Structure 1
């Protein structure tokens, strides 16, 4: 699949070997669309439009896009029992028409952001926990072999408990004796200096796994953004969910072969 020709396209050839490992990861984007994200919504759209094509180019079944509040199908889709976790987002994003990245139903990714208006609370813990539980259950059942790479774009102001679902997922993976790097969550915070939010993310990154005595599945990065372009190194960190060294470590730990990506579970 050829990447689109556009002003957003970048030469990442120096990192191509590392990017090829994305074939072995099930890549999901989870976007905070709460009221806290209103000042950064334009930045989020820009970032997704730059990051998603790189991931889609290297992921054989495309990437998935979820929002904390928004659901395809409107308000009725939020009612319990009407929609499974995987159908509560946009899946198999990976086709290109010109320089436009499309979902499996033909919707433009940029157009999705134009239709989503940030509002309401950021119940990130509930939404992230649902995705992690889905993955862990599928992994336990043997339906999912690909390693998980969740990229979370957020303002970092959470209105529910984000720690518990991260600990629960880490413990499930520990109990299943999954490879240490089977699942990773990259929390990408937008916004300027904010001591409280930065401390929260730093704690999730550096201390949570120690307190809970579990594996470490969290990495964090902050970007002040507002129209400024990201360097190749910064973008690669977000795309892969960790610094290059750690991604290479994950690939080695998981015995990943970029030419033979792991089995993906059906989007049920």
Structure 2
């Protein structure tokens, strides 16, 4: 089935089965993960994908999201021992997609979803972050850090700043490690307004919160560079590690489109 074909029919429901192998899977299948692995830091995290499946994502943005997932998912699944979790903004079954251990299964799940509806990014992040913070407060020593990768093409239709600021303040109050929670916004599409809003989330939350000491838990990166250049190796590292590695975040301006 072509997941990008124009159709009014609902996509088939996802049912677990043998994971389909992507080209990226095959190219990485024999890779030995060593101490020189640039993504080794991911092994200490639980990785979560939050995918914008709003109506504005239909078309090019949805195709770019598919390409991004095929590129990024193998990196994350190979380094999260108990599997990654996948959430969508609107898809009602997204709470079922937990502990996914193969990139092929990530692609299968994505292909069962069709974009529609609004962009309630703040609400969805809040539903992920609040219970996580409760777990961390109860058992900080045994609660793994989380790395949330949000793939979106536009501005949220709700307040996304408040749950992020509240999370950062709570982590500061609990004196949590700087990398305990990271939120990476990965922009597909070329909406200038969305790009500016995401950069504001990256660089302007301290001012918005009125707290110069507020920890930085957000990073943003675009899907492509000038002229639809493919995502570079540096860009891929930024996507999967930018929100939990401050050195990468400080270099983020080089990866954002101008124009």
TM-score (norm 2): 0.76
Alignment CA distance shift 1:12-1:68 (3 Å): farther
Establish whether residue 28 from structure 1 lines up as the match of residue 37 from structure 2. Answer: no
Alignment CA distance shift 1:168-1:12 (3 Å): farther
Whether contact under 8 Å (1:125, 1:161) holds in the other structure is yes
Greater strand proportion: 1
Alignment CA distance shift 1:6-1:34 (3 Å): closer
CA distance in 2, matches of 1:30, 1:121: 14
Equivalent in the alignment of 1:109: 106
Give the secondary structure class of the aligned counterpart of 2:154.
coil
**Matched residue count:** 221
- Which runs of no fewer than 5 residues in structure 2 stay unpaired? 1-19, 251-259
Give the secondary structure class of the aligned counterpart of 1:152.
strand
Establish whether residue 122 from structure 1 lines up as the match of residue 138 from structure 2. Answer: no
Whether contact under 8 Å (2:153, 2:187) holds in the other structure is yes
Equivalent in the alignment of 2:130: 133
Alignment CA distance shift 1:184-1:110 (3 Å): same
CA distance in 2, matches of 1:197, 1:219: 14
Whether contact under 8 Å (2:147, 2:244) holds in the other structure is no
Give the secondary structure class of the aligned counterpart of 1:135.
helix
Equivalent in the alignment of 1:88: 95
Task: Report the alpha carbon displacement of residue 15 of structure 1 after superposing the two structures with TM.
Answer: 9.1
Alignment CA distance shift 1:175-1:45 (3 Å): same
CA distance in 1, matches of 2:145, 2:249: 13
Alignment CA distance shift 1:192-1:165 (3 Å): same
- Which runs of no fewer than 5 residues in structure 1 stay unpaired? 73-86, 96-100, 103-107, 250-268
Alignment CA distance shift 1:13-1:56 (3 Å): closer
Per-residue deviation, residues 129-179 of structure 1 (Å, max 9, x unmatched):
111112111111106532111000001221100011101111111111112
Superposed CA RMSD: 2.9
Equivalent in the alignment of 1:235: 236
Task: Report the alpha carbon displacement of residue 41 of structure 1 after superposing the two structures with TM.
Answer: 0.9
* Selected match of 1:62 from 64, 78, 83: 83
Establish whether residue 215 from structure 1 lines up as the match of residue 215 from structure 2. Answer: yes
Whether contact under 8 Å (1:151, 1:241) holds in the other structure is no
CA distance in 1, matches of 2:65, 2:32: 21
Task: Report the alpha carbon displacement of residue 71 of structure 1 after superposing the two structures with TM.
Answer: 2.7
Alignment CA distance shift 1:26-1:160 (3 Å): same
Whether contact under 8 Å (1:36, 1:157) holds in the other structure is no
CA distance in 2, matches of 1:159, 1:152: 15
Establish whether residue 7 from structure 1 lines up as the match of residue 20 from structure 2. Answer: no
TM-score (norm 1): 0.73
CA distance in 1, matches of 2:233, 2:224: 16
Task: Report the alpha carbon displacement of residue 113 of structure 1 after superposing the two structures with TM.
Answer: 1.9
